[in-house]
């Protein structure tokens, strides 16, 4: 004879055990660790790779990949941290934007604020460019030979896509660029060239009419080996309020005339120079 009471008890226990895998306050199934969120970002007029995504109060950031996708993981040691925080999206010549995320005891809350139930940013974050930057070099190549005295001129065109943008050129005098980074494209070796031994800065108010600043040097002074190089002029953009800690999290001395300046996310047209 079947003991129905006994079997009913077993079924009840099984249902109770199965229910422990689900959140009683949500229809979403709990699926492991919630220390990571993901999403996608787009840029108006540029490829979305290299956007810096930074979470305030945690000192953690990441860069978007080739298609604009990103993942951001909370650092360990924040088990007692809870609240809502801003997730910032930053490129130096784009309008900064943000999204709100919720965190409870050091884990993201999925399905809250602007994060969906799968831990993904709701929608694609789109950033708008406010400054166009085009760098050119003349000549575009130099043939090495004994005592070559050729001059190389680097120029950068600034065009604001809004009413105005403020540019600061450190180590410069009016009309000139102050310094330039010269990067070997193949090896990554970096040269820093400064035109004048000055500590003054020049401020430009750039409107919708192009403004050009340049720097000229004699090729022989650098003695560059045969290779292709990328020229990156040194300047700073002072247009919008940047949250404290964001720039510092990218690297030390990111705004200085130093190698970490090249880590600063900036969308521009580079000048390519070849030594043959």
- Rounded average pLDDT over 29-43: 83
Residue whose C-alpha is closest to residue 63's, from 275, 255, 249, 231:
249
Pairing assessment for the beta strands 236-237 and 165-170 based on DSSP bridges = antiparallel
Average pLDDT, the chain: 88
Per-residue pLDDT, 149:
82
- Check if CATH label 3.40.1440.60 holds for domain 4-127: no
The conformation of residue 220, written as its DSSP 8-state character, comes to G
- Check if CATH label 2.60.40 holds for domain 131-275: yes
Give the pLDDT band of residue 145 (cuts 50, 70, 90). confident
Length of the chain in terms of residues written: 276
Per-residue pLDDT, 32:
57
% of the chain at pLDDT higher than 90: 77
CA–CA separation, 103 vs 82, rounded Å? 5
Per-residue pLDDT, 22:
31
- Rounded average pLDDT over 256-267: 98
pLDDT digits (tens, 9 = 90+) for 168-202: 999 999 999 999 999 999 999 999 999 777 788 99
% of the chain at pLDDT higher than 70: 88
Q: One fold for both 4-127 and 131-275?
A: yes
Question: Domain residues of the chain, as ranges?
Answer: 4-127, 131-275
pLDDT digits (tens, 9 = 90+) for 66-90: 999 999 999 998 888 999 999 999 9
Identify whether the C-beta of residue 190 lies closer than 8 Å to the C-beta of residue 263. no
Residue 156 in this model has a pLDDT that exceeds 90 = yes
Per-residue pLDDT, 26:
37
pTM of the entire structure? 0.85
């Amino acid at each position: 004879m079947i003991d129905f009471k006994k079997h009913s008890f077993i079924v009840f226990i099984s249902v109770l055990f199965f229910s422990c895998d689900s959140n009683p306050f949500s229809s979403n199934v709990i699926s492991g660790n919630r220390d990571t969120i993901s999403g996608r970002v787009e840029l108006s007029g540029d490829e979305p790779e290299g956007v810096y995504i930074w979470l305030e109060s945690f000192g953690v950031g990441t860069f978007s990949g080739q298609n604009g996708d990103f993942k951001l993981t909370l650092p360990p040691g924040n088990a007692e941290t809870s609240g809502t925080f801003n997730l910032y999206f930053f490129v130096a010549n784009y309008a900064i934007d943000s999204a709100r995320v919720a965190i409870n005891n050091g884990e993201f809350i999925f399905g809250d604020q602007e994060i969906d139930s799968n831990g993904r940013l709701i929608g694609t974050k789109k950033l708008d460019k406010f400054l166009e930057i085009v760098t050119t070099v003349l000549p575009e190549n130099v043939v090495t030979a004994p005592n070559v005295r050729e001059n190389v001129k680097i120029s950068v065109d600034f065009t604001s896509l809004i009413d105005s943008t403020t540019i600061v050129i450190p180590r410069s005098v009016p009309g000139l660029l102050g310094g330039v980074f010269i990067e070997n494209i193949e090896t990554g070796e970096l040269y820093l060239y400064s035109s004048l031994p000055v500590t003054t800065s020049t401020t430009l108010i750039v409107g919708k009419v192009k403004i050009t600043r340049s720097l000229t040097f004699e090729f022989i002074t650098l003695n560059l080996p045969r290779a292709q190089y990328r020229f990156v002029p040194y300047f700073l953009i002072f247009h919008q309020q940047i949250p404290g800690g964001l720039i510092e999290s990218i690297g030390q001395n990111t705004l200085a005339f130093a190698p970490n300046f090249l880590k600063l996310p900036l969308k521009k047209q580079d000048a390519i120079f070849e030594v043959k």
